[in-house]
Structure 1
């Protein structure tokens, strides 16, 4: 009987934000899968380690993912990673794939899950606290009230049009495009149409919170979440 592939969200950064279900699944997994070649540099692993110390003694399979938007290159990388542990699953071992935040939102796990399901392997998703709910808590704000809509934006599309959507806008993993994003946000903020919050490294010791688009540094890190509230 084949094993189960668990996609486990470890939350945005604070080990205390792991769910009880995530901790239990990590403890019971036979193998830990990481989207980073070196454990010491894998954020998901470092988040889980204080909450589940025994993880350090488990067999680990890891693979570096280069940051690219090339669909062909992405497909190759995902298949390479999946092939590393496919046989273990078929042999009956349970694998835990750790991912920052939640596995259902912009996660590498999504690609791996599709490959596993094609092979008839059982997949279970264990949700984690998302970066944007964690960021809202850190900033001390509400994401929505009453009938307000919430829009999750990748930051890679037509931002000018996306900013016209009614309600709260959340731009994920926005550090790499911060100059272009700030260029769109600052005029709206100066016109008193929006309020902007940005959180870097949510839940970690290195967490930084910025109130106002103009305050966000140009050299911001990749793991930054921007929350845009309408006035």
Structure 2
């Protein structure tokens, strides 16, 4: 009997925020997959370990993904990683793929899931608390209420048009573009059009909360979520 591939969201950073279903799936998985070669440096692993101590005794399959925008290179890395555990699933082993936040939001798991489904492998997604929900809670604000819309925006592209959308804007994956994004937000904030919050390393010991665009650091932070609300 073929095994199952589980995409397990471990939440943004606090081990106490893992869902009961995520904890159960991690405990029952025969093999755990990590999108980083060194498990001690893998945030998803460290978050899960805090809730499931026996995770340290699980068989681990890991892979170091290079940070690149080369689509062909990314595709090859995903295929290479997938091949590492494809045979195990077909032999009946259940695989748990850990991902920060939720597997359905900007996750490496999405690419792996497509390959698995194409091979007829059963896939189950186990949701986790998203970074933007965690960041809103940490900032003490609501993402939306009444008839307000919420827009999830990639900071890797031009956000000018997205900032014109009505409702709350959540900017993720700002990376090296954070200084440019900050400049645009600061201009709108100074005009009294928006209010800005940002959280780095949400839920972790290194968590930082920034109120106002001016306070957002110019340097790139991998785990930075920016929330923009209309005034």
TM-score (norm 1): 0.99
Q: Is the 8 A contact 2:155 2:175 kept in 1?
A: no
Matches within 5 A, 1:168-207: 168-207=168-207
Q: Is the 8 A contact 2:7 2:123 kept in 1?
A: yes
Aligned length: 231
Q: Structure 2: how far apart are the matches of 1:2 and 1:171?
A: 39
Does residue 6 in structure 1 map to residue 6 in structure 2?
yes
Tell me the SS of whatever aligns to 1:160.
coil
Tell me the SS of whatever aligns to 1:159.
coil
How far residue 222 of structure 1 moved from its aligned partner, in angstroms, is 1.3
- Residue in structure 2 matched with residue 110 of structure 1 by the alignment: 110
Tell me the SS of whatever aligns to 1:128.
coil
How far residue 220 of structure 1 moved from its aligned partner, in angstroms, is 4.1
Instruction: Give RMSD over aligned pairs.
Output: 0.7
Q: Is the 8 A contact 2:156 2:173 kept in 1?
A: no
Q: Structure 2: how far apart are the matches of 1:215 and 1:52?
A: 36
Q: Is the 8 A contact 1:174 1:223 kept in 2?
A: no
In structure 2, list runs of 5 or more residues that go unmatched.
none
Tell me the SS of whatever aligns to 2:164.
coil
- Residue in structure 2 matched with residue 72 of structure 1 by the alignment: 72
In structure 1, list runs of 5 or more residues that go unmatched.
none
Matches within 5 A, 1:1-231: 1-231=1-231
Q: Is the 8 A contact 2:40 2:46 kept in 1?
A: yes
Q: Is the 8 A contact 1:7 1:99 kept in 2?
A: yes
Q: Is the 8 A contact 1:116 1:123 kept in 2?
A: yes
Instruction: Spell out structure 1 runs of 4+ moving beyond 3 A.
Output: none
How far residue 175 of structure 1 moved from its aligned partner, in angstroms, is 3.5
How far residue 173 of structure 1 moved from its aligned partner, in angstroms, is 2.5
Tell me the SS of whatever aligns to 2:56.
helix
Tell me the SS of whatever aligns to 1:171.
strand
Which whole-Å deviations, capped at 9, do the CAs of 1:98-146 have from their partners, x for residues lacking one?
A: 0000000100000000000011000000000000000000000000011
Which whole-Å deviations, capped at 9, do the CAs of 1:46-99 have from their partners, x for residues lacking one?
A: 000010000000100000111111110110000010000000001000000000
